[in-house]
């Protein structure tokens, strides 16, 4: 234990029984007599110098041995162990270990849901820009990552069907939409696309009146869109070419103008307009695939 | 509005209490402030506490008192986030996801410092604001908000905060 002298009464007292007021050591007794009201000390610089040979926790005197410090407080080894156990007990360590494991496990286990969500969002983005192939690929990938989710199953079939439609593979597209229609019989968009696919099948078989009827039915189901209006224009173009029907030609131009007026500037829409214009001008009925092969950069009147 | 006694809420949301006290303790350690006593959870009032020495640094006092706000809010978000997309977006019902929500929201509910924490900041802020400490000046409205929030706990403000952080922030991110 360390001792020190009180500046006031001159007694030698344990260091821990003193306070330093304005850099002068006072024993507790003298502090109490000099400053009976605690408030009087507020205007002074008051500090305490702890004896580093006496544990501040268990109050044991360690003679001349200098103890470790817990911030400003001397503390013996056994109290350090007890304090550590109290500050961060085993059950709290276990609690946090479990918490960290839960966070890590949840993060990795649920990663597939976030990847599927990202792919789904990107698929919608591609779809809105008319890139149906990439939309279909990503929706399919999202659905394979998280199966049995209606939203993903729907978008996967839907985007795939639309992609097939635009590639001119109408029968497969029809099958996709037929599956969807069984699950969502009241969905106007699906029903409209089913007729749209039917129109494609009618075109493939050379039934141009059937092509026109199915396209108009699609328009009835889902309202006007550039794709549906262009499909009707396309059907009229086929009737014009096959029957040399001038009225069909006028109808074709009218529907095409209506489609263009809707300001769809997607690549898919522009390509479709171009195909109908070619059919009307060249009086040739070729499939979408043949057209793409023949005019990989699109068709212009000056080429003929 | 159903009034449920605080100690029952504390028992049901005990992970939040433990994390709250841990956050105080953590910032004591970070700022090298001596800890005198810690209780992470008990059947009493308060349900948990950390006793530590005072500090002459206002930043230290502020960090120790506000520690739970940062730690609990962050953990709430980290735990709820993985459950958000499968539950909300894909509508996948799984008890594990609900467990994550309970755990995350329980922790988030105890993010706001107690009135005692606010008082500690207020007492120190009065001294340090006079010396022109900007953080101390900013602390006054923060302390006011903490008092108001703690009053509103009877109207389940803590639950709203937990749900807001655990589900509201992911919904802002993911839509």
> How many pairs of residues across A and B have Cβ atoms under 8 Å apart?
66
Helical pair B95-109 and B58-84, crossing angle rounded to 10 deg: 160
| Residue in A89, A102, A149 closest to B90 by CB | A149
The pLDDT, as a whole number, for residue B26 is 95
Q: Which of B77, B82, B80, B71 is nearest to B18 (CA)?
A: B71
CB contact under 8 A, A73 and B34: yes
**Any idea where the domains of chain A sit in the sequence?**
3-74, 88-205, 206-304
Q: Distance (Å) from the C-alpha of residue A260 to the closest C-alpha of chain B? A: 33
Identify all chain A residues contacting B17, using CB atoms and an 8 Å cutoff: none
CB contact under 8 A, A89 and B53: no
A225 DSSP 8-state letter: -
Q: What confidence tier does A133 reach under pLDDT thresholds 50, 70, 90?
A: very high
Residue B135 has pLDDT above 70, yes or no: yes
CA distance A17 to A40: 20
A88-205 CATH fold: 1.25.40
CA distance B32 to A26: 29
The pLDDT, as a whole number, for residue A304 is 45
Mean pLDDT to the nearest integer, B141-149 = 96
* Chain A touched by B15 (CB under 8 Å): yes
Look up the pTM and report it: 0.74
Mean pLDDT to the nearest integer, B114-120 = 94
CB contact under 8 A, B103 and A102: yes
Q: Which of B57, B87, B68 is nearest to B18 (CA)?
A: B68
Question: Which of B82, B91, B101 to mutate: most A Cβ within 10 Å?
Answer: B82
The pLDDT, as a whole number, for residue A159 is 94
Mean pLDDT to the nearest integer, A56-73 = 89
| Residue in A71, A117, A151 closest to B34 by CB | A71
Mean pLDDT to the nearest integer, A200-209 = 92
Mean pLDDT to the nearest integer, A207-234 = 90
Q: Distance (Å) from the C-alpha of residue B44 to the closest C-alpha of chain A? A: 18
The interface predicted TM-score of the complex, written ipTM, equals 0.90
The pLDDT, as a whole number, for residue B2 is 63
Concatenating the DSSP letter of every residue in A118-176 gives HHHHHHHHHHHTT-HHHHHHHHHHHHHHSTT-HHHHHHHHHHHHHHHHHTT-HHHHHHH
CB contact under 8 A, A146 and B90: yes
Identify all chain B residues contacting A106, using CB atoms and an 8 Å cutoff: 79, 82-83, 100
Q: Work out the mean pLDDT of chain A and round it to a whole number.
A: 90
Helical pair A90-109 and B58-84, crossing angle rounded to 10 deg: 40
Residue A302 has pLDDT above 80, yes or no: no
Residue B97 has pLDDT above 80, yes or no: yes
CB contact under 8 A, B53 and A88: no
Q: In Å, how far are A40, A138, B77 from A122, measured between CA atoms? A: 71, 7, 25
| Residue in A72, A106, A117 closest to B89 by CB | A117
Residue B8 has pLDDT above 90, yes or no: no
* Chain A touched by B93 (CB under 8 Å): no
Beta bridge partners of residue B49, listed in sequence order: B39
Q: Distance (Å) from the C-alpha of residue A94 to the closest C-alpha of chain B? A: 12
CA distance A285 to A108: 54
Q: What percent of chain A has pLDDT over 70?
A: 99
Q: Which of A172, A220, A170 is nearest to A197 (CA)?
A: A170
The pLDDT, as a whole number, for residue A222 is 74
User: Which of A189-193, A227-231, A263-267, B165-169 tops mean pLDDT?
Assistant: B165-169
Side-chain-side CA neighbours of B86 within 13 Å: the count stands at 24
Residue A303 has pLDDT above 60, yes or no: no
Mean pLDDT to the nearest integer, A84-90 = 88
Q: Which of A250, A245, A234 is nearest to A285 (CA)?
A: A234
CA distance A143 to B102: 28
Whether the CB-CB separation of A71 and B33 falls below 8 Å is answered with: yes
Residue A104 has pLDDT above 90, yes or no: yes
User: Which of A7-16, A169-178, A263-272, B16-25 tops mean pLDDT?
Assistant: B16-25
| Residue in B22, B53, B85 closest to A113 by CB | B85
Mean pLDDT to the nearest integer, A107-129 = 93
Q: What confidence tier does A257 reach under pLDDT thresholds 50, 70, 90?
A: very high
The pLDDT, as a whole number, for residue B162 is 96
Q: Which of A148, A120, A121, A109 is nearest to B93 (CA)?
A: A148
Mean pLDDT to the nearest integer, B86-104 = 93
Tokens (6 digits) for A216: 């108009």
Q: Which of A187, A278, A198, A192 is nearest to A227 (CA)?
A: A192
Residue that is written with structure tokens 């946090």 in the block = A96
Lowest-pLDDT range, A233-247, A259-273, B136-150? Answer: A259-273
């Amino acid at each position: 234990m360390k001792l020190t002298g009180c500046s006031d009464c001159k007694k030698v007292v344990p260091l821990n029984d003193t306070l330093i007021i304005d850099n002068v050591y006072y024993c507790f007794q003298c502090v109490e007599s000099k400053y009976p009201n605690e408030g009087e000390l507020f205007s002074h610089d008051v500090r305490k110098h702890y004896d580093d040979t006496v544990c501040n926790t268990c109050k044991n005197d360690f003679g001349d041995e200098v103890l470790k410090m817990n911030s400003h407080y001397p503390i013996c080894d056994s109290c350090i162990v007890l304090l550590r156990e109290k500050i961060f007990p085993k059950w709290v360590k276990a609690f946090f270990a479990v918490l960290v494991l839960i966070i890590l496990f949840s993060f990795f286990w649920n990663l597939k849901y976030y990847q599927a969500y990202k792919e789904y969002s990107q698929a919608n983005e591609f779809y809105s820009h008319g890139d149906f192939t990439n939309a279909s690929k990503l929706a399919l990938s999202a659905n394979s990552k998280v199966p049995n989710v209606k939203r993903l199953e729907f978008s996967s079939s839907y985007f795939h069907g639309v992609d097939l439609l635009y590639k001119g593979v109408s029968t497969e597209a029809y099958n996709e939409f037929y599956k969807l229609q069984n699950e969502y019989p009241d969905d106007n968009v699906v029903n409209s696309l089913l007729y749209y696919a039917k129109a494609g099948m009618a075109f493939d078989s050379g039934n141009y009146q059937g092509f026109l009827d199915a396209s108009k039915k699609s328009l009835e189901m889902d309202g006007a869109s550039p794709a549906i209006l262009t499909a009707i224009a396309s059907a009229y173009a086929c009737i014009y070419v096959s029957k040399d029907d001038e009225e069909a030609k006028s109808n074709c131009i009218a529907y095409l103008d209506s489609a263009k007026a809707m300001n769809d500037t997607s690549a898919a829409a522009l390509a479709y307009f171009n195909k109908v214009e070619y059919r009307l001008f060249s009086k040739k009925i070729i499939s979408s695939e043949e057209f793409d092969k023949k005019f990989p950069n699109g068709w212009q009147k000056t080429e003929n | 509005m159903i009034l449920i006694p605080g100690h029952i809420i504390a028992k049901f949301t005990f992970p939040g209490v433990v994390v709250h006290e841990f956050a105080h303790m953590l910032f004591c350690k970070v700022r090298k402030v001596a800890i005198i006593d810690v209780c992470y959870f008990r059947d009493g009032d308060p349900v948990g506490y950390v006793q530590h020495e005072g500090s002459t640094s206002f930043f230290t006092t502020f960090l120790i008192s506000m520690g739970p706000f940062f730690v609990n809010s962050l953990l709430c978000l980290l735990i709820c986030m993985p459950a958000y997309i499968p539950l909300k977006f894909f509508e996948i019902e799984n008890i594990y996801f609900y467990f994550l929500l309970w755990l995350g929201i329980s922790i988030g509910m105890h993010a706001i410092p107690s009135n005692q924490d606010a008082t500690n900041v207020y007492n120190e802020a009065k001294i340090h604001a006079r010396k022109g400490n900007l953080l101390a000046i900013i602390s006054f409205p923060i302390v006011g908000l903490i008092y108001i929030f703690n009053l509103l706990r009877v109207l389940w403000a803590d639950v709203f905060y937990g749900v807001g952080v655990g589900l509201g922030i992911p919904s802002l991110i993911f839509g």
